[in-house]
Amino acid sequence: MEAVLRLLLISAGVSHGLESSCDARQNGSQCYGALGGTVYLQLADTMAYIHYSFYKCSTGSQTEILKTKGTLSSISVSFITRLHFFINNGTLRLNNTQRNDSGEYLLETYDSEGKSSGSRGLQLFIEAPVSSPQLSSECLSHGEMRVSCSSEGDGPQYSWTLDGQTLNDTDAPPDNKTNTVTLKKGLSGNLTCTVRNNINRNTVSRRISHCSGLIYDNCTLSNGIKISEWVNTLCVESTTVATVTEAPTSKTSTGSGFNVFVYFQLAEVFILLIICLGSYWFYKKKTCPQEQDDGE
């Protein structure tokens, strides 16, 4: 609901005072009017002294909205506040146009005796005018720039120029949406988006330059892979550097633990050796005098 109200407000603001005219003197004429604006329909050169009936057609029925007879004319009650007819030049003016004003219309002519002498039809299309467009841009990975042009209104059609030159497929490959172009890297200048429909047209321009932060990187990694492209940062080696840094730390820690364990074992052996030697000397010193007595 909010989006609908916003569109109506925009349309009303753009349509205010917007007028259009159409020559409907040929059978099958197609005429366009701005939503909320005014449309002039040239039905004939003059309708004075000629009998006419103007109908709005719907499925299986016709509603008479205007009837003339000589210099007199009558207008349907449903259109009385919005429709005015200039009998001297055969022009019909419809103010404050609405969506349901769109459709098929029929003009019937009659002779002086009231018999039909011919008819011709016309189609009227009421559309919301396009609003002033807005530009938005986005930097892509390879130095390209995607630019979008947005506008409110019925059936908008977009076209692009760069420094006054129409963008072609080589310079700006079109995306799926006609309101978006992708500018190749290196392009800069005055970019203009033009949006139009059957009612009006609007344009917007912006000076564009290279995407900030993008640089052309040309380098070779340690594994032999070459990089030549537009990137956000310079060439950086992969996480192998972190692995190489962690490996020596792991080895150093393991080696330190191994050395402490060996030193501890050697100390135990040394202590046991001292105990054994001490016990041996103590035992020898105690038994030697007894061996001498037995010899005597």
For residue 69, give the nearest of 84, 54, 91 by alpha carbon. 54
d(CA 290, CA 296): 11
Q: Which two tokens mark 278?
A: 């001490």
Q: Are residues 118 and 149 in the same domain?
A: no
d(CA 128, CA 130): 7
Q: What is the pLDDT of residue 9?
A: 35
CATH no. for residue 163? Answer: 2.60.40.10
87 lies in which domain range? 10-127
Q: What is the pLDDT of residue 200?
A: 95
Q: Does residue 273 belong to any structural domain of this protein?
A: no
Q: How many structural domains does the chain have?
A: 2
Q: Are residues 105 and 202 in the same domain?
A: no
Q: Are residues 111 and 139 in the same domain?
A: no
Q: Are residues 19 and 119 in the same domain?
A: yes
d(CA 49, CA 147): 59
Q: Are residues 87 and 140 in the same domain?
A: no
Q: Are residues 180 and 201 in the same domain?
A: yes
Q: Are residues 75 and 114 in the same domain?
A: yes
Mapping DSSP to helix (H, G, I), strand (E, B) and coil, where does residue 257 land?
helix
Q: Are residues 15 and 94 in the same domain?
A: yes
Q: What is the pLDDT of residue 49?
A: 59
Q: Are residues 48 and 87 in the same domain?
A: yes
Q: Does residue 19 belong to any structural domain of this protein?
A: yes
- Domain stops at, among 92, 127, 162: 127
Q: Does residue 247 belong to any structural domain of this protein?
A: no
Q: Does residue 28 belong to any structural domain of this protein?
A: yes
Give me the tens of pLDDT residue by residue for the chain, a chain 296 residues long. Answer: 333 333 333 333 344 568 999 999 999 999 999 999 999 999 988 765 578 899 999 888 899 999 988 778 899 999 999 999 998 888 999 999 999 999 999 999 888 777 888 899 999 999 999 999 999 999 887 788 899 999 999 999 999 999 999 886 545 555 434 789 888 888 889 999 999 999 999 999 999 887 765 555 667 766 777 666 655 544 444 333 333 334 334 344 444 445 556 666 777 777 877 887 777 777 766 665 554 454 44
